[in-house]
Structure 1
Amino acid sequence: MHAHNAGQAAKVRCGLCSVTRFYKPAELREVYGNVTIREIGQKMRCMKCDKGEYMDADLLVPLGAEAISIKYRRLVRIEFLRHIVWRDEP
């Protein structure tokens, strides 16, 4: 069973600047593919300090007041950047 269907939330925390964000597991799966939650923590970068080595991710089941108070970071769109490189002929 996928974590999203089990009602779980992904908690991603930067150990350097102590920023914690919550994500829907289905959206993380769309971005990073079918990987474990530990691998997601290794692939993400903190948007505040722009470092990736301090990231930690875990799954949790929000209950009661916690389930109501969580503010999720939602996926809006995925953009691909096209980078063009030129070279001069000798």
Structure 2
Amino acid sequence: MPEMNYNKKLRGWSLRDAAEAGQLLEVTCQFCRTTYRFIPRDLLKLTKDVSLDRLASRFRCVRCNRGDYMSLKVVQIWGSETGKLTVRRLIRVDMVKKPVWEDGVL
């Protein structure tokens, strides 16, 4: 039987809990049907420990650049899936310096 309220279950589960349980986060764009999988430890380097029901709204689809159709699902890795799933890994974080100008009187 399908779960009736999946978001209510995600409210009690945090990013750190998913990392300690060895789970993957599967983020799907419902608009263009693109799926991305992330390791929770990589996401903890970018953000603080938040509940998983609020995390889906922080993602944007790379393909269609929309953020309002993103849904998140927690996936448990099984032994037969090891080496077959495509997972996005965090390589580095680039900081961008952007100048802000203000007009003033000399």
Q: Does the pair score TM above 0.5?
A: yes
- Whose Rg is larger? 2
Query: What is the aligned partner in structure 2 of residue 35 from structure 1?
Result: 50
Query: What is the aligned partner in structure 1 of residue 70 from structure 2?
Result: 55
Structure 1 stretches lacking a partner, 5+ long: none
The amino acid of 1:19's aligned partner reads T
Query: What is the aligned partner in structure 2 of residue 22 from structure 1?
Result: 37
**What displacement does 1:35 show?**
0.8
Aligned length: 90
- Contact 1:9–1:62 (CA<8 Å) still a contact in 2? yes
Query: What is the aligned partner in structure 2 of residue 65 from structure 1?
Result: 80
**What displacement does 1:82 show?**
1.9
Structure 2 stretches lacking a partner, 5+ long: 1-15
Whole-Å separation in 2 of the counterparts to 1:72 and 1:24:
7
Once the two structures are superposed, the pairs formed by residues 69-80 of structure 1 within 5 Å of their partners are 69-80=84-95
**What displacement does 1:32 show?**
2.2
Computed over aligned residues only, the root mean square deviation of the Cα atoms, in angstroms, reads 1.6
**What displacement does 1:69 show?**
1.2
